[in-house]
Amino acid sequence: MIIPIKPWLELVEESASPFSGGKRSLGLQSGLVLSADPAADEFRLGGSGYRNLYEGNPMSDRQEFYHEPIMGEKILEILEPLEGKQVFDGTLGGGGHTQMCLENGAHVIGCDQDAAAIEHASKRLAHFEDRFLPVRGNFAEMDQLLSDVGVDQVDAILLDLGVSSRQLDDGSRGFSFREDAPLDMRMDDRSELTAAVIVNHWEEAELVRIFREFGEERRSRRAAAEILKARAEAPIETTFQLAEIVEKAVPRVSGKHPATRVFQAIRIAVNRELDVLEEVLEKTVPVLAPGGVLAVLTFHSLEDRIVKHFMRRRSAPELDRPEWPEPRPNPDFAFTLPFRKAAIADAEEVERNPRSRSAKLRVAIRN
């Protein structure tokens, strides 16, 4: 069911983007995408989940960037991205997983709402020519993105929900507190909502809610109260300012910085990450061809819970309730689960790439 990418490019000829490295890139409006575990190394001071081969500006065009794809071999085995297959990589990022699929022979549509990710991956993967198509957009719009390039269904969908190391290491993005940076945290710079807006303008009750629900921070009320106290004196503008304020309310009990969970919560709120995850999971059902594979990498319990419940609900042939005389067919039945439990990285990979420690891979096959 392969559709060569050259016809795709003709379909989007008028959507050329300066971020596409000579290819056509779709510029849809969007609002989110990713997540990271509060225990993952990218949120520890001095932690790292990537190797930077050259010193200097991490976003420099002159710099060679290497990001080891999490559970790359497992994902290749599961997706089987052979010649003649089409893969939708919903979180292109640095292009690591996409490159593995391309090297295995598949055609890949790589989607990301981050313009810098599209630019980087377009250059890095340009030598695959018309077997790779980068599209800029929110993966929750995958049905529209695919329709715009003339594709109804694909053979595999990969969603890697981890925050890109490029995003974390670019101080101007404000995703972490390794550097003092403006409070931004947007995955898509076209979005109007920033971390600064949330921190300086949201009501205390809303701050408490997102810290508790999205960050699972037990001291959410104290953190919110400290933020309101600080912003009453002057706007909170940078990552260092916010981290210092939260540290007054949340005591340090481990090597992890006390502000880690609050930063995670704000980032999730800025990008609507959990809402968009639920949207994209539902859209995978009509987009996957029969026998197609859905693979999702999660990095914290909030994401994993959503993915697990979705796959279980969609893989039950029948439903049963105590008040029913007998089980009934499940109208949402769409998948078979080849593994009941999530796969995790082995000890060797965790040692080599600490970022993989919190990753969980869940897989479903379209009926």
Query: What local confidence, expressed as pLDDT, does residue 25 receive?
Result: 34
Query: What local confidence, expressed as pLDDT, does residue 253 receive?
Result: 80
Residue 256 DSSP label:
S
For the chain, the maximum distance between any two Cα atoms, rounded to a whole number of angstroms, is: 68
pTM comes to: 0.81
Query: What local confidence, expressed as pLDDT, does residue 90 receive?
Result: 95
**Spatial contact of 361 and 291, defined as CB atoms under 8 Å apart:** no
The per-residue b/e assignment along 57-81, b for 16 or more CB within 10 angstroms, e otherwise, is ebbeeeeebebbbbbbebbbebbeb
Q: Which two tokens stand for residue 282?
A: 């539902």
Q: 7 in helix, strand or coil?
A: helix
Instruction: Read off the pLDDT of residues 124-136 as tens digits, 9 standing for 90 and up.
Output: 999 999 999 999 9
Query: What local confidence, expressed as pLDDT, does residue 333 receive?
Result: 97
Domains and CATH numbers, the chain: 5-166+274-366 (3.40.50.150), 171-271 (1.10.150.170)
Enumerate residue ranges in the chain where pLDDT < 50.
Answer: 1-66
In angstroms, what is the C-alpha Rg of the chain?
Answer: 21
Name the residue among 145, 46, 36, 165 with its Cα closest to residue 88. 145
Backbone angles phi, psi at 238, to 5 degrees: -130, 165
Backbone angles phi, psi at 19, to 5 degrees: -95, 5
Query: What local confidence, expressed as pLDDT, does residue 160 receive?
Result: 93
Amino acid 37 reads D
Alpha helices in the chain (DSSP H): 5-11, 72-79, 96-103, 115-124, 142-148, 165-169, 195-201, 204-213, 220-233, 239-249, 260-271, 273-287, 301-314, 347-352
